[in-house]
Amino acid sequence: MERDVSIRLGVVGCGSVFWTPYMNLIERLRGQGRVEVTAVYDADPEKRRAAAERLDLTPELPDDLAVCTHPDVDLVMVLTSMPEHARLARAALEAGKHVLVEKPVATSLEDAEAVLAAAEAAPGHLLCAPHILLSPSYRAMHARVLAGEVGGLLSARARYGWAGPDWGRWYYEPGGGALFDLGIYNVTSLCGFFGPARRVTAMTGIAIPERVVQGERIRVQADDNAHVLIDFGDARYAVVTTGFTMQKYRSPCIELYGTHGVLQMLGDDWAPEGYELWRNDKAAWEVYPEADPTWPWTDGLRHLVECLETGVEPVTRPEHAYHALEIMLAAQAAGADGRAREITSDFPAPDLARLGEVGGHHRVHDPRSAS
Q: Does 287 bind a copy of itself (CB under 8 A)?
A: yes
Decide if residue 58 touches a copy of itself (CB under 8 A): no
Between residue 222 and residue 281, which ones bind a copy of itself under the rule CB under 8 A? 223, 225-227, 229, 231, 234-239, 241, 243, 245-252, 255, 257-262, 264, 271, 276-278, 280
Is 21 or 59 the residue whose CB approaches a copy of itself more closely?
A: 21
- Listed residue (117, 118, 77, 130) closest to 99, CA to CA: 77
3-state SS, residue 112:
helix
Q: At closest approach, how far in Å is the CB of 200 from a copy of itself?
A: 9
Residue 172: phi and psi, rounded to 5, are -110, 10
Q: Which stretch binds a copy of itself (CB under 8 A): 57-65, 123-131, 156-164, 185-193?
A: 156-164
Q: How far is the CB of 122 from a copy of itself (least distance, A)?
A: 31
Residues between 13 and 42 that touch a copy of itself (CB under 8 A): 19-21, 24
Instruction: Yes or no: say if 175 and 169 are a contact pair by the CB < 8 Å rule.
Output: no
Beta strands 225-231; 153-161: pairing state? unpaired
Residues 124-153 that bind a copy of itself (CB under 8 A): 150
User: Read out DSSP for 139-196?
Assistant: HHHHHHHHTTTT-SEEEEEEEEE-S--SS-GGGGSTT-SHIIIIIHHHHHHHHHHH-S
Site for a copy of itself, residues 206 to 225, rule: CB under 8 A:
206-208, 223, 225
Report long-range pairs for 212-219 (Cβ below 8 Å, ≥24 apart): 212/166, 213/165, 213/166, 213/167, 213/168, 213/169, 213/171, 213/172, 214/166, 214/167, 214/168, 214/169, 218/169, 218/172
Q: Does 361 bind a copy of itself (CB under 8 A)?
A: yes
How many residues touch a copy of itself under the rule CB under 8 A: the total is: 84
Restricting to residues 86-125, name those near a copy of itself by CB under 8 A.
Answer: none
Please state, in angstroms and rounded to a whole number, the distance separating the CA atoms of residues 40 and 21.
Answer: 16
- Does residue 360 belong to the site contacting a copy of itself (CB under 8 A)? yes
Shortest approach of a copy of itself to residue 272 CB, angstroms? 11
Beta carbon nearer to a copy of itself, 217 or 250 = 250
For a copy of itself, the binding residues in 162-181 under the rule CB under 8 A are: 162-163, 165-166
